[in-house]
Amino acid sequence: MASEDEEEKVLLHVYDLTHGMAAQYSEAFLGRKIEGLWHTGIVVFGKEYFYGGGIQCCNPGCSMAGQPSQVIPMGKTSIPVSIFREFCQEISPRYTPETYSLLSHNCNNFTSEACQFLTGEDIPSWITGLPAEVLSTPLGAMIRPIIEGFERSMKQSLGSGASDWAPIVGGDESSSIADSSSSSASSSSAPPADASRSEPGPIIDSDPQSLSASIQSSDSFRTIAQQQTEEKQKQSHHPHTKMKLYSISEKPLLNGDDKASDYVKLILGRKVKRDIGFSKTDVVTMKSIVQLLKQPESEQASKKVIDLLERILSSWPANQLGSVVALLRLLLIRPDINHHFSSVDGGLPIIYSVISTAGLDEDRETDEVIPPSLQMLVLCALSNLFAPCSRNVSDLARDEFIFNAALIGLTAQDNVAVRSRASSLLFNCAIFMPKRNEDEVIQVATTLSDHINHEKAKAPRYRQLMTLLHLMYRNSEVVELLIALDFKISTNSNEVAMSPKINLVIVDVNKILESLDDL
C-alpha cells in the first residue's frame, strides 16, 4: 500500500491486439506503417487493472491479452490502494460491457483516466490518438474479427471462475462475487461458471485466499447498476452532505515556523525614521516576543507588546514591513493576540491598514512597488486569524477587507506563492461562510470556476479546488450554479496543474455535480 512515506510504481502494460499483423501489413493497406492496435492495463499495487467486460484486475500479464509487448513506467503514486479501489468503484458505471466501444470508449480510455488519477500524467498520445479510421480500411476489416473475438473472451471471462483475475465494481473489498460455484475459484482447475450468468460483481481481490473468505450465495450477486439504483432509492431524500468524499476538510489552513528570533533581529536592524524607531524599552519589549512564543498559550502578551506591534504595523512603509508581518503571523496562533487583532474594537482596523499597505485593497491607488513577499506574508497572517482559538471566524469569513484581499491575491499572475496563500485564505473563509445562499458564497464559486481551469501551479489549484468542493458540499445553490454554467474541470496536464491530490478533489467535485444532475 502506498503511504506518505512510501510510493508505489505505476506501470503501463501495452498489448498489440493484432499480434504483429498491423506492423506487417499496415503500410501496404494504409500507405503508412502503424506498429499495432493497442490494449493497455495499469499495473499498480501488485495487480493489473484494465477495462474489458467491466473494470477488472488480474496478476500482471495474466489477462486474456497474454504478455505485454511494452512496459512503460508512468511514475509513482502516493494514493493508497483502498482509495484507488474506491475510485474504480466510482467510475465503474461508465465502464460496463454495455458502454464498451472499440473506437470511443475502450480499455485505453480507462487506463488514461486511471493513470491521471494515480500520477497526474496521461498515457502516451500514440496510444489514445490512434486514428479511428484505421478500422474502416481493408486492414481494419481483416483484423476486426480478431479484436471482436478478444472482446467477447474478456466479457465471457467475467464468470469463468478463474482464480487469477476478477471484476472490480460495487461495494467494499469484503463483498462477494458470483454464485456458490465460486467456492471452487481458489483452484486453478475449477471449471468455468455459466457464462450466461456473468454480470459485474463487487470489487474483490483476485488472490484465491481472499476469495475463499468472501463467497456468498447467488442472491447477493447484483450488477453495479442495480446496487446504485437501490442506494439512490434509499438515500434520495438525503442531501449530498451524506456522501462519502475523499478530500473534504473542515480544518483551516494555517502557516508558521520557528524563526521568531530571526524576525526580531531583522526588525531591530531596520533603518527607519527616528520618529518611528525604537526606544530602549521598545527593544526589550520586542525581544520578549521570542520568549513569549515559547510559553504556553495561557501566558498572555503584555499590553506593551500589542501597543508596539500596532505602532509598527500602522507606520512603517511597505518595504520595511515584511519581517513585522511574519512575526505577527506567528503570534496570531495565540488566543490573546488573535482575539485582539480579530476584533473591530481591538486591532482589526490595524489589520485593514496592513492590507492596504500591501496593495491588497481594491480601493488603494498608488504607484508604489509592493514587494510580493509582503503580500504573501499578509495573506498568511490573515489565514492565521482563522486559527482554532479565534472567536470571530464567522464575521471574519465575510469581512469585506479580508475577503477582497483573498480575491485580489488570487489574480497575482506572476507569483505562485501569492496565489497559493490567497487560495488558502479563501479556503479558510469558505469553511466558515454561512450555508445559505449569500452573495460572498456565489461570488467565490463564480470566481473559482474560472480560475481553476487556468491555474498552472499545483499548490494554488489544489487549494482552489478544495475551496470549491467545500462550498458545493455545504450549499446546493453553488452546485446548481455550476451546472447552469456548464462547469467542467479541465484535466489536461498541458493546460492546468495536475497531481494525485488534485485528482482526488476532482473526483469529489464531479461526484457532487453528478449527484444533483441525476436528481
Question: What are the residue numbers of the active site?
Answer: 39, 107
- Residue 368 grid coordinates: 508604489
Q: Report the candidate in 141, 142, 108 with the shortest Cα–Cα distance to residue 126.
A: 108
CB atoms within 10 A of CB 477: 16
Instruction: Return the residue matching grid coordinates 474489458.
Output: 52
Compute CA 68 distance to the chain's CA centroid, rounded to the nearest angstrom. Answer: 31
Q: Report the candidate in 208, 188, 202 with the shortest Cα–Cα distance to residue 55.
A: 202
Instruction: State the amino acid at position 282 in one-letter form.
Output: D
Q: Residue 116 and residue 74: Cα distance in Å, rounded? A: 10
3-state secondary structure of 161: coil
Torsion sign, CA atoms 77, 83, 85, 90: negative
Determine contact, residues 308/278, Cβ cutoff 8 Å: no
Q: Residue 362 and residue 408: Cα distance in Å, rounded? A: 7
Classify residue 332 by its DSSP letter: T
Compute CA 126 distance to the chain's CA centroid, rounded to the nearest angstrom. Answer: 27
**Across the beta sheet with 54-58, what order do the strands follow?**
70-77, 8-16, 38-44, 47-52, 54-58, 165-167
Go through 408-418 and write b for each residue having 16 or more CB atoms within 10 A of its CB, e for each that does not: bbbebeebbbb
For Cα atoms 11, 13, 15, give the angle at the middle one, nearest 5 degrees. 170
- Please, which residues bridge with residue 13 across strands? 41, 71
Q: What is the DSSP string of 272-316?
A: --GGGS--HHHHHHHHHHHHHHHS-TTSPPPHHHHHHHHHHHHHS
Q: What is the DSSP string of 72-94?
A: EEEEEE-S-HHHHHHHHHHHGGG
**Phi-psi domain of 41 (left: phi exceeds 0; alpha: psi -120 through 50; beta: other):** beta
Per-residue 3-state assignment (H helix, E strand, C coil) for 209-255? HHHHCCCCCHHHCCCHHHHHHHHHHHHCCCCHHHCCCCCCCCCCCCC
Determine contact, residues 100/51, Cβ cutoff 8 Å: yes
Classify residue 156 by its DSSP letter: H
Residues 6 or more apart whose Cβ sits within 8 Å of residue 346:
339, 340
Q: Residue 233 and residue 256: Cα distance in Å, rounded? A: 47
> Kind and range of the H or E element at 56?
strand 54-58
CB atoms within 10 A of CB 309: 23
